[in-house]
Every structure is written in C-alpha cells, then in structure tokens.
C-alpha cells in the first residue's frame, strides 16, 4: 500500500541550527540542509555524499555535514555546480499505478520521477505509494519540508478509496478502529466504511494517520479481502480532487504557508 513511515528525525542542537549568537557573524546554512533544499538529495543522503568526498565548497572538499554555506559560496556535487535553493515549493501529483516511488529502481521498473514534466526542478516525494497504488502523491523541492510533512506528530490523516474482491462486513470494518495485530505486527486503529457493493466487488473508504508499508493490503487480506485497486485521495489538508491521472499541480505559496504544521 504505502511506505509513509518516515525515518527517525534528526535532532539539531542550538549550535547546529545556523542561527548566530547575538553579535556574531551569520554562519549561513548547514550544507546537508542546503543540499536538501536545493533538491540534490535528502539530508541523510547528502551526508553520505559528503562522507564520500563528493561535495566541494569554493573548490575545497568538505568532510562534515555541519559545514556552513554562505550565499556567495559555490557548491559542487560530483563535479556539477549546484544552483542555490529555490523557494520552498510543493506540488500535487496524481500517481498512476505501475510506477515506483524512487529515483532509481534496481529492477529497472518505471519510476514516478521519470514520468514527471521536464519543467519541474528536482523533487522528492512526501512518503510513498507502492507500485500498484495510485492517487495523490505530494512532491517538493525541499527535502527538509518532505521530512516535516511525513512526521506522525502532525496527525495528518491519509484517506483512500479501496476496491476489494470479497464480501466486507460493516461490523468487521468498524472493528478496525480498535487496531489489530497481524503476524506479530501491531497496526493502529483504521477508520473504514463500506461505500458500495456490486456483486463480489466493493468500494471501501479508509482513513489512517500513519501508514506502514502495504498496511491496507495486509489488513484487507487478513479479513479475507483482495485489494484490486487502491487510490489515495487525500494527504492531510491536500486533496486529489479532479487532478487528472499523471497530472501535476503546484500548491500556491499562500496555501502552503497556511497548511504547514505550526
């Protein structure tokens, strides 16, 4: 189903935030964070690039992710000059099924990022949708924002429409709100309700706060139901709406500012 569970967030000390002490010279921004905002890689992947000696500032190879970048500095990664980060931007994308949410797939399967318009800058996804899932996927040019929006502490609800083969019982769906354990894995409460039924096919509305990898599919299988289609229709306050399949639409800066977790 999804792979929305984020990595454990990094904890920054006050000395690592880039905020100078009163009267001190501004130190700029930490290089790992700068590279994430520039869309080069996530902060963790940026730190790996630094450890591998692939990042240079003003023609000097750096070795520590806490190195600070000034506005006038020239940053090169793996021989490529990197433009300064653009303003933070967010897009809604209607992911079709059949695409994996990764920049590089070792199995050679088509990826989300290969299918995006060439007019977009380099972006990262907020969470994931698996190969056979479709619907709303948020994309951003700011890796730090992606991490922020993935955090369970935001209490953002992910909403899905799920088509299953089988006979779901309303009482069984309602019981999912109490959570359940499958093969030793504990799943938190899920809100699920039967929308419609036609023969052996049914549509179910599902809402959850923290989607584990393939959680909906595993829960439905546990109930004797086979998921034949899974569509994410909302991620927190952002809706799929009528965005066409494969379509991309930028969230306005005003809406982004209003919806960001405080």
Residue 48 in domain: yes
Quick one: average pLDDT of 87-100? Answer: 95
Q: How many domains does the chain have?
A: 2
The span from the CA of 189 to the CA of 178, in Å, is 5
Pair 136, 169 in one domain: no
- The pLDDT assigned to 4 comes to 52
Q: Are 176 and 215 part of one and the same domain?
A: yes
Same structural domain, 122 and 59: yes
| Whether residue 46 is found in the same domain as residue 130 | yes
What is the rounded (10 degree) CA torsion for 65, 71, 76, 81?
150
Q: Is residue 6 part of a domain?
A: no
Q: What percent of the chain stands above pLDDT 70?
A: 90
Q: Are residues 177 and 209 in the same domain?
A: yes
Structure tokens at 208: 């959850």
The reported pLDDT for the residue numbered 8 is 33
Q: Which residues of 8-38 are buried (b: 16+ CB within 10 A; e: fewer)?
A: eeeeeeeeeebeeeeeeeebbbbbbbbbbbb
Strands 180-182 and 185-187: antiparallel
SS (H, E, C) 33-81: HHHHHCCCCCHHHHHHHHHCCCEEECCEECCCCCCEECCCCCEEECCEE
Q: What is the mean pLDDT of residues 61-69?
A: 91
Compare 24 and 171 and report the one with higher pLDDT.
171
- Tokens representing residue 59 in the block: 């023609």
Active site positions, annotated = 130
Query: In this structure, are 72 and 41 located in the same domain?
Result: yes
Q: Report d(CA 200, CA 188) in Å as an integer.
A: 28
Q: How sure is the predictor about 9, in pLDDT bands with cuts at 50, 70 and 90?
A: very low
Residue 172 has pLDDT above 50, yes or no: yes
Same domain (yes/no): 135, 59: yes
- Identify whether 5 is part of a domain: no
* Residue pLDDT, tens place only, 67-93: 999 989 999 999 999 988 888 899 999
DSSP state, residue 181 = E
d(CA 89, CA 248): 13
CA angle 194, 216, 122 (to 5 degrees): 120
CA nearest neighbour of 120 among 142, 141, 98: 141
> Do 225 and 108 belong to one domain?
no
Q: Residue 89 is part of a domain; what is its CATH number?
A: 3.30.70.580
Question: How far apart (Å, rounded) are the C-alpha atoms in residues 223 and 182?
Answer: 11
Asked whether residue 23 is assigned to any structural domain, the reply reads no
pTM to 2 decimal places? 0.76
Choice among 18-22, 69-73, 178-182 with the minimum mean pLDDT = 18-22
Of the chain, the percentage scoring pLDDT greater than 90 comes to: 65
Q: Is the residue at 21 inside a domain?
A: no
Q: What is the mean pLDDT of residues 48-63?
A: 95
Distances (CA, A) of 220 to 54, 74, 81, 164, 175: 45, 52, 48, 8, 13
Q: Assess whether 165 and 221 both reside in one domain.
A: yes
Range of the domain at 64: 29-150+245-262
Co-location of 138 and 75 in the same domain: yes
Residue 126 β-bridge partners:
138
Say yes or no: 204 and 249 in one domain. no
pLDDT, tens digit, for every residue of 233-254? 999 999 999 999 999 999 999 9
| Within-domain flag for 15 | no
Residue 166 covered by a domain: yes
Pick from 28-37, 91-100, 203-212 the range whose average pLDDT is largest.
91-100
216: domain CATH number? 3.30.70.1560
Say if residue 125 is in the same domain as residue 174: no
- The answer to whether residue 12 sits within a structural domain is no
């Amino acid at each position: 189903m999804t792979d929305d569970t984020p990595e454990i967030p990094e904890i920054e000390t006050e000395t690592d935030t880039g905020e100078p002490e009163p009267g001190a010279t501004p130190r700029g921004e930490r290089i790992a964070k700068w590279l994430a905002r520039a869309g080069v890689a996530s902060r963790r992947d940026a730190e790996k690039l630094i450890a591998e000696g692939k990042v240079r500032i003003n023609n000097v190879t750096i070795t520590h992710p806490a190195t600070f970048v000034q506005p006038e500095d020239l940053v090169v990664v793996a021989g490529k000059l990197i433009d300064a980060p653009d303003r933070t931007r967010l897009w809604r994308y209607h992911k079709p099924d059949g695409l994996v949410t990764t920049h590089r797939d070792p199995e050679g399967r088509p990826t989300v990022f290969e299918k995006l318009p060439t007019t977009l800058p380099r972006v990262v996804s907020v969470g994931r949708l698996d190969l056979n899932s479709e619907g709303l996927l948020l994309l951003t040019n700011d890796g730090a924002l992606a991490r922020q929006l993935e955090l369970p502490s935001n209490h953002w609800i992910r909403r899905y429409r799920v088509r299953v083969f089988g006979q779901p019982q309303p009482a069984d769906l309602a019981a999912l709100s109490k959570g359940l354990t499958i093969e030793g894995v504990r799943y938190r409460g899920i809100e699920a309700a039967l929308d419609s039924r036609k023969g052996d096919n049914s549509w179910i509305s599902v809402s959850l706060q923290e989607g584990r990898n393939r959680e909906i599919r595993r829960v439905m299988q546990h109930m004797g139901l086979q998921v034949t289609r899974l569509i994410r229709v909302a991620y927190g306050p952002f809706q799929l709406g009528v965005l066409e399949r494969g379509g991309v639409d930028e969230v306005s800066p005003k809406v982004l500012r209003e919806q960001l977790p405080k």
